[in-house]
Structure formats: structure tokens, C-alpha cells
Structure 1
Amino acid sequence: MTEPEDLTARARIREAALLHFGEHGFEGATTRAVAGTAGVTPGLLRHHYGSEQALREACDEHLIRLVRRIDDDVRAGAVPAGRNSVAAALDALAPYRLYVARAPAEGWAAPLFDGIAELSERWLAELDETRTDEPFAGRRARDRVHGHVAHPLALTLLDLYSHPLLTPEAAAELRDALGKPPGSR
């Protein structure tokens, strides 16, 4: 997290809200506590965001912009040598882990994860262009599943994708043994 003196009041409020929503949940966080952490008055918080709901939505929008900026940096080759996009994203999102983890548990994750799923769909489409094997399921089925995967499962899948348990040949053999699912190519 950036030091408070380096941020505008609006950004300090948002950063404090990300911290409080992550630690205490949406219902447990108070605008008074958020304002106190940000070093502003509750009135200034209301001036900038209007309501606690609007503040939480601004937090989601900020994290979506952050993920998109990471994606842009990766595409521009701006990720430090020896680092990959996943590591860069995890580093950038590290201060917000509690917020991201609490979001699905409290049912307010949809906008954030929809934004991440949108990027994931693009990444899948780009990966398909370079694949040498036929996907097990069509793009629409994979997009739908990928777009509705909760954060913990997404991390598990990421680990499996980045360290495959099966060779493409072994996966093809198992796929053939199982038979192709309906709607696959």
C-alpha cells in the first residue's frame, strides 16, 4: 500500500476502505473508522463517495483497474526480468488479499471477479491461438466455467496449469477413455 502522504484524500479513503472491508467485512466496517484510518473527516468521505456502497464499488473498480494495468505492463514488456505476469499480479494485489478473499464469502465479489474473468477470457483466446493441441471443451464452455470460478479454485487451477500433472499425450489418452463431453469440439 502506498504511504498516506503520497495519496490524494480520495485515494487514502479508498485504500483505508480496502483495508477495513478486508479485515472487518462490509457490514463490520464503518465509515467513521475508514475516515479515521484515511486521516479525513466522515463528511469528506461522504463528499467523495456518497455512501458506503459507492465506496465499496470504487474499491472493486480500483482493483479491476490495477489488474488491467498489470496486463498492460505485461503486454508492454514492463514486468521486471525474471518475473512473470502472475507473480506481478500477486505482488500488486498482496495488500488487498483480505479484501479479495472476503468478497466471495460475503457475496459482493461479482463486479471484481467479472472484471478479472473478462481478462481471463481474453487470455484464453490468445492462448488458443498458440495451442498445438485441440482443447477438450469449446471456448464458450471454458469461458463460462472460467468466468464463474471462485478465487481459491482459480488459484488451484493456475497452479495446475502452470505445473501440469499430465503430458498432453497422457491427457489425450485419458480424455479418449472418458469420451468427449457434449458441446465439445
Structure 2
Amino acid sequence: MATTQPNPEDLTARARIRDAALLHFGEHGFERATIREIARTAGVSSGLVRHHFGSKQALREACDDYMAKTVRELNDQAREGHKDGTFGDINHIAAARAALIPYQRYLARELADGSAAALFDQMVEMTEAWLATFEETGDATFTADRRARATVLTAMALAVPVLHEHVSRGLGVDTMTPEGDHRLAMALLDIYSHALVSPEDAATARAALDKVRDQTPAERDAALRAFKERQP
């Protein structure tokens, strides 16, 4: 199973503080989490937290940096496992999903708070690289550019941890557990491996969207009024 490379820092008090912060920021949010409780969970003094990080904001930035590094390493391992065009005997993407489960709550909080911009942008770049790989041997044509599609795909994927409570309720199992993540992954595979819209229907939808885009404000208002009049 893929794992991140051991880091000597992970054996230090600094790493314990970071891990405790990931837990508390994810559970309580940045504003409600306290240095005192983070220190208690890490088994250190509040003074040592400030010695290593200086402030709660700096600690948050260290957590974001660690998340970015972790995601990057897992992605690199997945790409290495896929270099021959197949996923081989070990599915590195599945292993990466399992490795990220402990960080889902933190990631959801950061995204909901409007933070983690650098991490989001990094994940978009990774998704764009994957799309480029998958499209090398395909003959499909696209209306939207690859960057746009990568951005939307990343946002769709990251919406799952943000909407964790609702998705878990719908699936009947906590998506932040191995069992829940497996159920979620199986659903995603079914969705990604089966086209939901035929090329003909997509072309019709594109034409309709272009028509709406080109409408004047008066035409849009008239269309909205007509729609409301049709409602029961």
C-alpha cells in the first residue's frame, strides 16, 4: 500500500503538535480550536507550541503545508504506479484515498472556511495532469479547456468532505471511515465509468447554453417570466 516517505520531523514534538492541530482544527474549526487544547493533545506545553510555531495562524499554515506535501507525495506515487498506462496489481489511487481519510475533516473545514487555496490549486494541477494522461489515447473532443475541466472535477471531489454529513447520511455510513470511503469510491467508479449523457444530447445542451448566454437582459427576463407562469 502506498504511504508517504518517513520524515524525521514526524518523530518530534513539532510533528505531534502539528498532528494535534490537524485534529482540533478539523473537529472544532480554526476559531474555536485553542493552543491550550492542542498542546494538551500533543502532550506538550502551550509555550512549546508558541516556541515552534509562534502563533495559531502560523500553526495553521504549517498544517496546510503538511497537507499539500502529503497530497503531492501520494499523487506522485499514484502516477509512478500508472506509468505503464495501467494501475497494475496495487491500486495506488485506492491506497492514497485510504491514507487521506484521517485528514478529511481538516480539509473540509479549511475549504468551508475559504482557506486552503494553495492546496486546492495544487490539486487542480494534479487533476489536469491526470486528464492529459487519460486523453493521450482518446479521440474525444471537448468544449471546455482542460484547466476548466480539472478545476470543476477537483471541486466536485472536494465537495464530498465538505458535505460529509449529508453524503454519509445518503450512503448510510460515515464516509470518513474505511468502510464509508470504500462505498463512496465504488459509487464514484460507477459514475466515472458510465457516460450519463450521449454525445447527441450533449450537443443539444451546448446549443441551448450558448443561446442562453447570447440572450439580452430583456430576453432573459421574458424567459424567466414564462417559466414562472408555467409553474403550478
TM exceeding 0.5: yes
Q: Runs of at least 4 residues of structure 1 off by over 4 A?
A: 146-150, 153-161
- 1:50 alignment partner, one of 47, 51, 54: 54
- Which residue of structure 1 aligns with residue 24 of structure 2? 20
Distance 1:97 1:80 in 2: 27
CA change 1:77–1:61 in 2 (3 A) is same
**Higher mean Cα deviation, 154-163 or 170-179?**
154-163
Distance 2:66 2:204 in 1: 46
- 2:192 alignment partner, one of 162, 165, 176: 162
1:22–1:102 contact (8 Å) kept in structure 2: yes
Larger Rg: 2
CA change 1:93–1:136 in 2 (3 A) is same
TM-score (norm 2): 0.64
2:17–2:42 contact (8 Å) kept in structure 1: yes
The answer as to 2:91 corresponding to 1:64 is: no
Higher relative contact order (CA 8 A, sep 6+): 1
Q: Please list, as runs of the form range in 1=range in 2, the aligned pairs for 1:84-95 lying within 5 A after superposition.
A: 84-85=92-93, 87-95=94-102
Report the alpha carbon displacement of residue 106 of structure 1 after superposing the two structures with TM. 1.8
- 2:89 alignment partner, one of 78, 81, 88: 81
Gaps of 5+ in 1: none
Report the alpha carbon displacement of residue 72 of structure 1 after superposing the two structures with TM. 1.6
CA change 1:140–1:104 in 2 (3 A) is closer
CA RMSD of aligned residues (A): 3.0
Distance 1:64 1:18 in 2: 13
- Which residue of structure 2 aligns with residue 122 of structure 1? 129
- Which residue of structure 2 aligns with residue 7 of structure 1? 11
The answer as to 2:126 corresponding to 1:96 is: no
1:121–1:143 contact (8 Å) kept in structure 2: yes
**Higher mean Cα deviation, 125-134 or 61-70?**
125-134
The alignment of Structure 1 onto Structure 2 pairs a total of residues equal to: 174
CA change 1:149–1:179 in 2 (3 A) is closer
Distance 2:143 2:60 in 1: 38
Distance 1:52 1:13 in 2: 11
**Higher mean Cα deviation, 143-152 or 10-19?**
143-152
Give 2:133's aligned amino acid.
E
Report the alpha carbon displacement of residue 68 of structure 1 after superposing the two structures with TM. 0.9
Distance 1:18 1:113 in 2: 17
1:117–1:147 contact (8 Å) kept in structure 2: yes
The answer as to 2:40 corresponding to 1:33 is: no
Report the alpha carbon displacement of residue 59 of structure 1 after superposing the two structures with TM. 0.7
Report the alpha carbon displacement of residue 111 of structure 1 after superposing the two structures with TM. 2.5
**Higher mean Cα deviation, 63-72 or 117-126?**
117-126
